[in-house]
Structure 1
Amino acid sequence: MGRGPLIDSEKLADGLYGLGWSTVKRLPEGVAVQLGRQLADVTWRRRGKGIERLEANLARVVPDASAQRLAALSRAGMRSYMRYWMESFRLPAWSPERIRAGFDPEDVHHLEEALRSDRGVVLALPHMGNYDLAGAWVTTKLGVPFTTVAQRLKPESLYDRFVAYREGLGMEVLPHTGGSAFGTLARRLRAGGLVCLVADRDLSSSGIPVKFFGEEAKMPAGPAMLALQTGAMLLPVTLWYDDTPIMRGRVHPEIEVPQTGTRAEKAAHMTQQLADAFASGIADHPEDWHMLQRLWLADLEPRGGTPGTEPV
């Protein structure tokens, strides 16, 4: 019998995340910031597949960028990504005052008015900035709990860590498996609740085709379908960092349900509007879009098979 692998990658990942939440949160903030920047620069210099994919994605966002500009953007992107992780590891130790001061969104009146309507609200975000911090701000500053979903991770203990982390920030977390999550989300919305979904990359076979920076991609049908089925308001949100310890963001105006068309046509129209809102925020702050995976359908074809079926 041959020898097994010397390192169990799943257990290693679980241990590293556990170390982050147990150790990084105890570091002084300045030390954690510097550590994150150093880790980002080391990762960027190694030029792994994630960096190459990030630059390929950024090339579509900034099509006229030179190679030097793309390299600078990807380096800034990795620093932004590591800032997200350093903040996330430290969030459980942040005081309510620190959370409230750590996020300053524009046009938050769209969200406040939507919550007062009692129709239910779906907030949809791309992989920008730190959506965990934005969620903690909603539960702490606005005092509003919400429901979200999380992708199943292996090992199970790692998934449990993420669920416990987000529940500790005031979120209800449902597993991103099967169709049961949709029904629970719909019930929360019909009761006037808040649902928050990261929605710029499809993880299922039911994604809706959209034009995104001029090329075809697929985005989840969930946000639009939930709004259609429950009457909830659908609001896009984009996030970004600047040179301060405070994260910035914008709550975009409601994406309204079209007056005509089939349910599928309405969902497609709304998802395209969602993609357009995401694109506007990403174009303004490309370095804060943490997309290190394949997204556009053209990038899913080279290994054969149907576009959109390759694991990412």
Structure 2
Amino acid sequence: MIHPDWPAARRRAVAAAVLDNIGRSLIENYSTPELAARIAREPIRGDGLAAFEEARASGRPVLLVSGHFGNFQVPRHALAARGHVAAGLYRDMTNPYVNAHYVRTIEAIPGPAFAQGRGTLGFVRHLARGGVAAMLFDLHVQEGVPIPFLGRPAMTATTPADLALRTGALLLPCFGIRREDGLSFDIQFEAPIPHGDPLAMMVALTQRLEARIRAHPEQWFWIHRRWKAPRGGGVTLPTAVPSVPPP
């Protein structure tokens, strides 16, 4: 259990709010024109906005990274409204009938959409050519590395760090945080993650997401099985997990 100290009433309230956010996000993402029009009026804020603009002015690629938090499609809509085309990387749904209309919602956002696996090379090429791309990183990955996440080790892909290092891309955490009215969003571009050791970069990304979840636990998609053990046994953290200074 992640928050054993929470009283039962708070756990129930957060669980209900989690489902509310997921439901709202689902309807929003299936109503692309309405969501896009709403997001076009929202400013982008945060310590990373200037770094993003500088990177675009110089032609440097930018890799936006987020988690299943708030409405994670909002940053791409915000960029599209400002003339920036951001590619998206998505994971196919298991059910082909659900996947067909799910993919249509992603492709409705301006910018190319690439399926994880068969489309990954296209995603990498888009980034390497100086493009803007967006991806999520907070799902269990069997071949990942264990990184502390909300107090427990979670198998985590190093793909965002690897791609940033390979292409020279600015690695920028971003979030579409739902406001209390349930309809508007605080769009945050955080300070970039410095290039360095890939594990340290992923620890830093994880800590950024953790901070958002601790501030708004009802906005993370707790329904995912984030802490599954890898095949063959339990999870053991590396001997030394890199410490990362705050931004």
1:248 maps onto 2:186 in alignment:
yes
Deviation sequence 1:158-189 (CA, Å, 0-9, x none)? 323222222221131111126x51x3233222
Residues of 2 paired with 1:79 and 1:249: CA distance?
A: 19
1:131 maps onto 2:72 in alignment:
yes
1:289 maps onto 2:226 in alignment:
no
Deviation sequence 1:232-279 (CA, Å, 0-9, x none)? 110111332122221123211111112xxxxxxx11111111101111
User: Tell me, what secondary structure is at the counterpart of 1:149?
Assistant: strand
Superposition deviation, residue 190 in structure 1: 2.0
Is the Cα–Cα contact under 8 Å of residues 88 and 133 in structure 1 kept in the other structure? no
Residues of 1 paired with 2:222 and 2:139: CA distance?
A: 9
TM-score by length of structure 1 reads 0.68
Deviation sequence 1:190-229 (CA, Å, 0-9, x none)? 21101100111134x3312211122211222211000111
The aligned amino acid for 1:207 is: G
Deviation sequence 1:31-76 (CA, Å, 0-9, x none)? xxxxxxxxxxxxxxxxxxxxxxxxx5xxx2x453111111111111
Residues of 2 paired with 1:209 and 1:170: CA distance?
A: 34
Select 1:166's aligned residue among 97, 106, 130: 106
Residues of 2 paired with 1:248 and 1:106: CA distance?
A: 8
TM-score by length of structure 2 reads 0.84
User: Tell me, what secondary structure is at the counterpart of 2:14?
Assistant: helix
The aligned amino acid for 1:161 is: H
Evaluate the alpha carbon distance shift between residue 176 and residue 255 of structure 1 in structure 2; reply closer, same or farther with a 3 A threshold.
same
Mapping of residues 15-164 of structure 1, within 5 Å? 56=1, 60=2, 62-91=3-32, 93-94=33-34, 97-101=37-41, 103-107=42-46, 108-140=49-81, 142-164=82-104
- Residue of structure 1 equivalent to 2:127: 189
- Residue of structure 1 equivalent to 2:233: 306
1:175 maps onto 2:112 in alignment:
no
Aligned residue-pair number: 232
Is the Cα–Cα contact under 8 Å of residues 119 and 189 in structure 1 kept in the other structure? no
User: Tell me, what secondary structure is at the counterpart of 2:30?
Assistant: helix
- Residue of structure 2 equivalent to 1:45: none
Residues of 1 paired with 2:35 and 2:153: CA distance?
A: 43
1:277 maps onto 2:208 in alignment:
yes
Residues of 2 paired with 1:269 and 1:251: CA distance?
A: 20
- Give the RMSD, CA atoms, in angstroms: 2.2
Superposition deviation, residue 305 in structure 1: 4.1
Residues of 2 paired with 1:275 and 1:292: CA distance?
A: 18
Unaligned 5+ segments in structure 1 are 1-55, 259-265
Bigger helix share: 1
- Residue of structure 2 equivalent to 1:227: 164
Is the Cα–Cα contact under 8 Å of residues 236 and 274 in structure 1 kept in the other structure? yes
Unaligned 5+ segments in structure 2 are 236-247
Residues of 1 paired with 2:59 and 2:233: CA distance?
A: 42
User: Tell me, what secondary structure is at the counterpart of 2:31?
Assistant: helix
Residues of 2 paired with 1:170 and 1:151: CA distance?
A: 18
The aligned amino acid for 2:146 is: P
Residues of 2 paired with 1:139 and 1:249: CA distance?
A: 13
